[in-house]
Chain A
Amino acid sequence: MARADGSALSTPADDGPPVAESARRAVEAVWRIESARIVGALARFTGDFALAEDVAQEALAEALVTWSRDGAPASPVGWLLATARRRAIDAFRRRAARDERYALLAGRLGEGEAVTGGSAPPDGPDELPWDPDRVDDDVLALMFVACHPVLSPEARVALTLRVVGGLSSEEIARAFLVPVPTVQARITRAKKTIAAAGVPFELPPADERRERLGGVLSVLYVVFTEGSTATSGDALLRPDLAYEAIRLARTLAALLPDEPEVFGLLALCELTAARFPARTGPDGEPVLLEDQDRRRWDRSAIRRGLAALGRTATLGRGLGPYGLQASIAACHASAPSVAETDWERIVLLYEALGRVAPSPVVELNRAVAVAMAGEPEQALAQVDELLVAGRLAGSHLLPSVRGELLVRLGRPAEARSELELAARLCRNERERSVLLRKAAALG
């Protein structure tokens, strides 16, 4: 099957102007804006998510070829919709031999074509045989299906970025440092799983809604986290990936304005991203919170983050795990320096977070906050409890925090070996070099 990732188009020929390249970028831009609506509307109409995604991708692949040859059409959106619809009709007709239901669907989908005068692309989505007033529900349903619990976590991420975010497999592969075929295989398998499990294309029923929404939020959180602290590779930040998560969180917030945790996640993302400009130095090296030039923090992102956090308070249902993390980020965002940060409040927030969403990473962060609030010995005891319990074994986080605490407690020899251990375990090259530098400084 044709795929939109056609790498042949991404490198223009030496002897010609980079027409293909500019056409590709134009197609990508339209697709980012329209993919969710196109796939969502097709999926609802056909009741077949996999087919909808397939025909949408075929339309996209066709656009890449046609637009780079003939230039972009007057109405790129109409062109994509008309092409996707034609592909869907073809697919239905092929299947009609096996199942009469498809003949009916092909007929219904074909009606819109008669209205708009055959092959001429319609001027806009209004002329399609689907209801534009249902776009919001279609996009939401698409998010819930892409983040469905029957899928593996990697598949949820890939599918969400592709069908909701409108990214190509190539872009997703680049963002997660995996080969393109891996991403394609994940998406293909995910579509098969959805079909095999009979996942309907609809909003989850009321009794499943809260849990399913949690699933959607956790996918966005994973995407954001990978962008804000890359787990591997030589760059500390991948702002473009973090930006995709923020954009999707904003969409979700616009579609579900009464869900506190959606705004909690949005606030967390905005407040964390606000620090990006200060988190890396001129050569991409990480700059620790205490050394960051807070003047470089993005004030408009902080303002948006605090507004989103304010929305969770307005909804009056208390803070969930994302709201609590956002509140912690807000403490940092509002503080003029590390010393003037309200560490006691941060300790309280981490304690609350540890109760609603227990995790060793939260415990570790709480220990750091306890140390910053002036109790480094108590903090070390808490870290040692984690160590004894064997939690976070194999992660560089525990020895790196332990090393820092030992430095503060004036035990340089032990601190050094902890930091060296952390460096050996760390997979991000930038972070590793910081750890080694700290260890070396201890003599």
Chain B
Amino acid sequence: MAKYMLIMRGTDETMAKMMETPFEQMLETVGRFNDELIKAGVLVAAEGLDDPSQGVVVDFSGDTPVVTDGPYGETKELFGGYYIIDVASKEEAVEWAKRLPAMVGSKCEVRRVPAIDEFPQDNEWVIKERAWREQTGQL
């Protein structure tokens, strides 16, 4: 068993299509999928992101970071949100990814999330982060 992140990647076309979809309808579609994950006992966390055009990009190509308004890059693979699921295998994570109510043209990347106990426990920064997680109840 392991945790996997399903990383949703849309394009500006899929984003536009999503904006056209009535909000209630979208809530129901996504809600039904989330309900499946909950009933299967695999959902750990999920968040969706706001309109990419409202975002800001900080570019580290030069000596100092350059800040620009608007969506990232060529808007072919816009990061739109994620799920974290707790499953038995990578294949199962992929199987859930295939069931995402995704717009035609979008993609989903499936990546394993290492657990904190895979890091050296005596490292001072790991200890600090652990303490913060304990105090705040963060994942």
29 A-B contact pairs sorted by A residue (CB < 8 Å): A25-B89, A25-B91, A26-B91, A26-B95, A28-B89, A29-B88, A29-B92, A29-B95, A32-B92, A33-B40, A33-B95, A33-B96, A139-B39, A240-B88, A246-B41, A247-B40, A248-B41, A250-B42, A251-B39, A251-B40, A255-B39, A293-B121, A296-B121, A299-B130, A299-B133, A299-B137, A299-B138, A299-B139, A300-B44
Task: Decide if A28 touches B91 in the complex (CB within 8 Å).
Answer: yes
Q: A33–B96 Cα gap in the complex (Å)?
A: 8
| CB-contact partner of A251 in B41, B88, B89, B95, under 8 A | B41
Task: Decide if A277 touches B117 in the complex (CB within 8 Å).
Answer: yes
Q: A254–B42 Cα gap in the complex (Å)?
A: 11
**Interface residues of chain A: helix, strand, loop or mixed (majority):** helix
B73-93 vs A, CB cutoff 8 Å, 1 = contact: the mask equals 000000000000010110110
B118-133 vs A, CB cutoff 8 Å, 1 = contact: the mask equals 0001000001001001
Beyond contacts A29-B94, A247-B40, A299-B139: 4 other A-B pairs, Cβ-Cβ < 8 A, are: A239-B1, A247-B42, A251-B41, A254-B39
Residues in B with CB closer than 8 Å to A429 are: none
Given A32-B88, A33-B92, A295 and B121 contact (CB-CB distance below 8 Å): yes
Residues in A with CB closer than 8 Å to B56 are: none
Task: Decide if A295 touches B91 in the complex (CB within 8 Å).
Answer: no
Q: Check: B115 CB closer than 8 A to any chain A CB.
A: yes
Which residues of A from 24 to 74 have beta carbons under 8 Å from B?
A: 25-26, 28-30, 32-33
Q: Check: B47 CB closer than 8 A to any chain A CB.
A: no
Q: Check: A130 CB closer than 8 A to any chain B CB.
A: no
Residues in A with CB closer than 8 Å to B133 are: 299
Q: Check: B134 CB closer than 8 A to any chain A CB.
A: yes
A135-154 vs B, CB cutoff 8 Å, 1 = contact: the mask equals 01001000000000000000
Task: Decide if B95 touches A295 in the complex (CB within 8 Å).
Answer: no
Q: Check: B38 CB closer than 8 A to any chain A CB.
A: yes
Task: Decide if A136 touches B121 in the complex (CB within 8 Å).
Answer: no
What is the size category of the interface that chain B forms with chain A? 20 to 34
Closest A residue, CB atoms, query B98: A76
Q: Check: A176 CB closer than 8 A to any chain B CB.
A: no
A240-257 vs B, CB cutoff 8 Å, 1 = contact: the mask equals 100100111111001100
| CB-contact partner of B89 in A29, A139, A255, A293, under 8 A | A29
Q: Check: A298 CB closer than 8 A to any chain B CB.
A: yes
Residues in B with CB closer than 8 Å to A239 are: 1
Q: Which residue, A277, A293, A296, A300, has most C-beta atoms of chain B within 10 A?
A: A300
Q: A240–B133 Cα gap in the complex (Å)?
A: 25
Task: Decide if B44 touches A243 in the complex (CB within 8 Å).
Answer: no
Closest-CB distance, B8 to chain A (whole angstroms): 19
Q: Check: A87 CB closer than 8 A to any chain B CB.
A: no
Task: Decide if A296 touches B41 in the complex (CB within 8 Å).
Answer: no
Closest-CB distance, B86 to chain A (whole angstroms): 8
Q: A303–B42 Cα gap in the complex (Å)?
A: 16
Given A29-B94, A32-B88, A249 and B121 contact (CB-CB distance below 8 Å): no
Q: Lowest 10 A-B CB distances belong to which pairs?
A: A250-B41, A29-B91, A247-B41, A277-B117, A29-B92, A243-B1, A29-B95, A254-B39, A300-B139, A25-B91
Which residues of B from 23 to 71 have beta carbons under 8 Å from A?
A: 38-42, 44
Closest-CB distance, B100 to chain A (whole angstroms): 13
| CB-contact partner of A295 in B41, B88, B127, B139, under 8 A | B127
A269-296 vs B, CB cutoff 8 Å, 1 = contact: the mask equals 0000000010000000000000001011
Residues in B with CB closer than 8 Å to A32 are: 88, 92
Residues in A with CB closer than 8 Å to B94 are: 29
A288-330 vs B, CB cutoff 8 Å, 1 = contact: the mask equals 0000010110111001000000000000000000000000000
